[in-house]
Structure 1
């Protein structure tokens, strides 16, 4: 590429149209696209690094591009749209141009202004829907918008949730959507910058895609998404899970049916335990949902029983009030259904066992009294044998006092 010739063309454009920066940047894109010819590759550039083709641009050319974009900052959103729509038009031509010039301009714009890509996602979602039967065009749009994420995790997640999640079930687009998410989370290992982006509305469709069998994802894509799921969960729960998890609890509970797949059931039960451990408001939410989710509650109650030894003292204390509430509800439900209900019975059995474990062994008063009686009887017998009659009232008082304290000290509390 002759940089002197490029600079000459740009200077000419600026002198002829001094008040129209939109023309300057369009001339830049056209020049680059005309000069940088290469064999047409797949729209995703999947065989190249994420910053290709901008990664091949020389320092001098980057300086020229950056300077011109700086002078044209007021029209960069329009320029971004122009590049995408021109690329889509080129895809209709046979043979079309390689589009590398437009790709370089898109990457240069979003490198410093990533929010431009997310300024009007709704418009591009409509573009995807209108070209659903043209995968190359859809993938070109996804690639262009996705470039924002490599500069900013927050904007990348916004693109993924707004554009790629809605098309995750489309066979021709799903591989790129999952691959992009994988690459995005790999490039940005510090997830804190993405906190606040994923809420329950977005998180649970992802959970379903990752764990529900026979959905629109292939097994390999589902496995790939399942590997990403723990990081998505961290993003969803955010910086303060202790104030957020109660809003996730209802959807976790409603999915935990006895018929749900084992892998998903395990994840749901683990997540609900996490909600109860970290966010005390989850207990109140559970009490409100209990009567309409008896089978799910039965699974959770039994899971809490199985993990009882590893549960914290704080959780056990918070759980006690909830279990007692459930116990009363179970009795009311049983009285209304004289023929019995297996879900109510299962919940009631689990509640009784949990209450039994909460009581524990308690203070061993009966054992203490028994030992004291044995001590008194032994003392009396010894005194009678020694003196022929009971002579040790004073010794009894002092001996009982000392022995009692010794026994108390040695008891296994």
Structure 2
């Protein structure tokens, strides 16, 4: 409120709570002290200066964490279940025992142990059932045989060429009774053996894509059983298998598996073995990962068939001179040790090439020998020239 003071001629602003005429002197200060004392006596301006109790962070955090854990647990959705895709056609139920998904690979310590545990009577029972249900489809009988054997013979995996074993491993471990069952079924399904051979080989290649895949002893046994009696099945269409080999050239394990499977034909028949070597292994000679097996196979093949007369005429000039170059030309794609091994095989290869009557065949070799008679020709190669 504003009032005009007489005699002074000016306005004075009166503040709220102050009375006119009350100055800021000692009386005013004393009144303030009295009011403050009165207020403190009545507890109006009393402050509690005791410090607040500290919150126990551990208990708080534990309680908060427990709540959050419960919330997170409640918020986690259940695992999604993939809907089953309906098949286009109902497939006939396979007779062979399906692989157990919980079965771990390598449950037997060795193949010998797995073969001893094999129930031959149960195998025969399953094969009888397969022949009864699929009486007009022998290819299914054979596939059931291979699936059963491979499932039951899960032993530690072997490297693709089985180089640490004899040439007839693993078939050499099969009992006489089991061999009888296998060969009996092969005889009943003789018209389906070529397709069965392809099935075993392609299934082996598919297993090599899996990590880890199954051991392949069952399929190997079936391949050996087929080619022991019918080696020409492997050589009937070598062009197809050469294309297959080249398509997997970046996968040495697959290439070696193909070479091993086809090579089984040679242990029963020298002629078929030479066909496999010339048609499958010679074209890849020089590839670092495949050359050792190719030369080792040729060495074993010639040792198993010391009578070379059955192989006369198998090697012609177009095959002979690449072998001559690999054996004696320096700085080729073979390692020195492999080149030396091939040089040791060369005399027998020359016998196979020239045949029983060299005089009647040498004229076909003369032009190629002559083209190599240059100053840069290695002395060892010059010695091999029959002219």
- Whether 1:46 aligns to 2:163 is yes
Is 2:130 the counterpart of 1:13? yes
In the alignment, which residue of structure 1 is the partner of 2:227?
A: 110
Following superposition, the deviation at residue 37 of structure 1 comes to 1.1
Structure 2 match to 1:255: 372
Q: 1:258 offset after TM fit, Å?
A: 1.5
Q: How far has the Cα of 1:242 moved from its partner?
A: 2.0
Partner of 2:334: 217
Other-structure match for 1:151? 268
What pairs up with 1:217-256 in 2 under 5 angstroms?
A: 217-256=334-373
Q: Which of these residues, 252, 256, 266, is aligned with residue 139 of structure 1?
A: 256
Matched residue, 2:57: none
Q: Which runs of 5+ in 1 are unaligned?
A: 273-413
Structure 1, residues 204-239: CA drift from partner, whole Å, max 9, x if none?
000000000100000000000000000000000012
Q: What secondary structure sits across from 2:128 in the alignment?
A: helix
Distance 1:260 1:237 in 2: 22
Whole-Å Cα distance in 2 between the matches of residues 265 and 227 of structure 1?
16
Unaligned stretches of 5+ residues in structure 2: 1-117
- Counterpart for residue 32 of structure 1: 149
Q: Please give the residue correspondences for 1:151-230 in structure 2 after superposition, counting only pairs within 5 Å.
A: 151-230=268-347
- Secondary structure, counterpart of 1:52 in structure 2: coil
CA distance in 2, matches of 1:168, 1:225: 11
Report the Cα distance in structure 2 between the residues aligned to 1:197 and 1:259, rounded to whole angstroms: 30
Q: CA RMSD in A?
A: 0.6
3-state SS, counterpart of residue 159 of structure 2: coil
Matches within 5 A, 1:2-401: 2-268=119-385, 271-272=386-387
For 1:203 and 1:54, locate their aligned partners in 2 and report how far apart those are by CA, in whole Å. Answer: 33
| TM-fit CA distance, 1:256 | 1.2
Deviations 1:89-121 (A, max 9, x none): 000011111100000000000000000000111
SS across alignment from 1:172: coil
Report the secondary structure of 1:6's partner residue: helix
In 2, the alpha carbon distance for the partners of 1:4 and 1:167 equals: 44
SS in 2 for 1:256: coil
Alignment match, 2:96: none
Q: CA deviation at 1:171?
A: 0.5
Summarize deviations over 1:58-87 as a string: whole Å, max 9, x none. Answer: 000000000000000000000000000000
**Comparing both chains, which one has the higher relative contact order based on Cα–Cα distances under 8 Å and sequence gaps of 6 or more?**
2
Q: Match of 2:43?
A: none
Quote the offset at 1:138 in angstroms.
0.2
Structure 1 residue 169: Cα displacement: 1.2
- TM norm structure 2: 0.69
What is the CA–CA distance in structure 2 between the aligned matches of 1:38 and 1:222, rounded to whole Å? 36
Q: Equivalents in 1 of 2:380, 2:359: separation in Å?
A: 25
State the number of aligned residues.
270
Structure number with bigger Rg = 2
| Distance in 1 of aligned mates of 2:236 and 2:258 | 14
Further displaced range: 259-268 or 129-138 = 259-268
> Shift of residue 43 of structure 1?
0.1
Q: Work out the CA distance in 1 between the residues paired with 2:182 and 2:324.
A: 42
- The alpha carbon displacement at 1:265 in A equals 1.7
1:299-325 Cα deviation digits (max 9, x unpaired) = xxxxxxxxxxxxxxxxxxxxxxxxxxx
CA distance in 2, matches of 1:196, 1:17: 45
Compare the two structures and name the one with the higher helix fraction.
1
